[in-house]
Amino acid sequence: MKSLSGRDLLSLSDLNASELHGLLEFAADLKAGKSNPQFPQKILGLLFRKASTRTRVSFSVAMYQLGGQVLDLHSSVTQVSRGEPTSDTARVLDRYLDVVAIRTFDQAEVQEFADYAKIPVINALTDLEHPCQILADLLTIQEEFGSLKGITVAYLGDGNNVAHSLLLGCAMAGMNIRIASPAGYAPDAAIVNQAQGLMEQGGHILITQDPLAAVEGAEVLYTDVWASMGQESLANQRLPLFQPYQVNDHLLEQASGEAIVLHCLPAHRGEEITEEVIEGPASRVWDQAENRMHAQKALLASVLA
């Protein structure tokens, strides 16, 4: 993936459809052991302001397997927590690191970092997007169904960062994406418009408040927590509002007989997903979590090439 050399991934829409498909093919080849690119001496920095299990560990393992090194730079151990400006941090770390993955609140922070740093900057989750998650999700769907085009994904719950990147990714891949959320929790209208503009390979977008309309006949059911990191104080008041969007056996029965269930994790069993469904035969959440590592290895190798 020479075309991604030196590039940032701040939004999934920083990729075009052909680059997205190329990355997924590369990730599949890496997973199958068909390729073993090496980047000795290259250093990845992880600049995180939020907790993380999968993203931190999968990025780290991917970088080690590429022969590189990782610096885990949580904001609490750097001057970031004492308010050093992003523009200063970016220009300094640019001199030390070869690539950086940032997890923070405001999308504008990753954008500002990228404006000031020449090295590739990867969005490892903001309040607006989670592009690396969706690379792994699309890889998982492709493994299950052989291809992406024409597959229908139903996302139930909060129109959040994961929903936004999923919308963009499905639109680029010619998939049908349906998002069902309670009133007031639909995805950002600007992202929906952006996704509409990316549907060059066909597909259809449905934004609804009706969970059954979203799920009917879908091949993939996807959910995420009802209160994201930074919104924990709102969790209890959201429970009754979100209850009809819980991915449970009843909703799963309305989907395609071949339907699989995805969740980016961490999951709150009994809230957005039931124990029966996440541990049941349709669940692919562990393969999905594993694929974070393969997808991000492909991304790292591509931007470092």
**Span interacting with ligand NVA, options 140-148, 175-183, 222-230, 290-298, rule CB under 6 A:** 222-230
Q: How far apart are CA 280 and CA 180, in angstroms?
A: 22
Regarding 12 and contact with ligand CP (CB under 6 A), the answer is no
Active-site residue, selected from the candidate residues 142, 264, 288, 296: 264
Characterize the bridge pairing of strands 121-123 and 99-103: parallel
Q: Is 178 a catalytic residue?
A: no
Q: What angle do CA 114, 118, 121 make, to 5 degrees?
A: 45
Q: Is 292 a catalytic residue?
A: yes
Q: How far apart are CA 48 and CA 61, in angstroms?
A: 16
Quote the least distance from Cβ 250 to ligand CP, whole Å. Answer: 26
Q: Which does 160 bind (CB under 5 to 8 A by kind): ligand NVA, ligand CP, none?
A: ligand NVA
Q: Which does 224 bind (CB under 5 to 8 A by kind): ligand CP, ligand NVA, none?
A: ligand NVA
Regarding 66 and contact with ligand NVA (CB under 6 A), the answer is no
In which order are the strands placed within the sheet that holds 121-123? 69-72, 43-48, 99-103, 121-123
Instruction: Between 160 and 291, name the residue whose CB sits nearer to ligand NVA.
Output: 160
176 phi, psi to nearest 5 deg? -95, 130
- Coil, helix or strand at residue 177: strand
Which one of 35, 53, 193, 196 is in contact with ligand CP (CB under 6 A)? 53
User: Which tokens is 124 given?
Assistant: 């490892």
Write out the binding residues for ligand NVA, residues 128-167 only, by CB under 6 A: 160-162
Active-site residue, selected from the candidate residues 284, 292, 294, 296: 292
Peptide bond into 211 cis (omega under 30): no
Residues recognised as catalytic: 103, 130, 133, 224, 264, 292
Residues in contact with ligand CP by the rule CB under 6 A: 52-55, 125, 133, 264-265
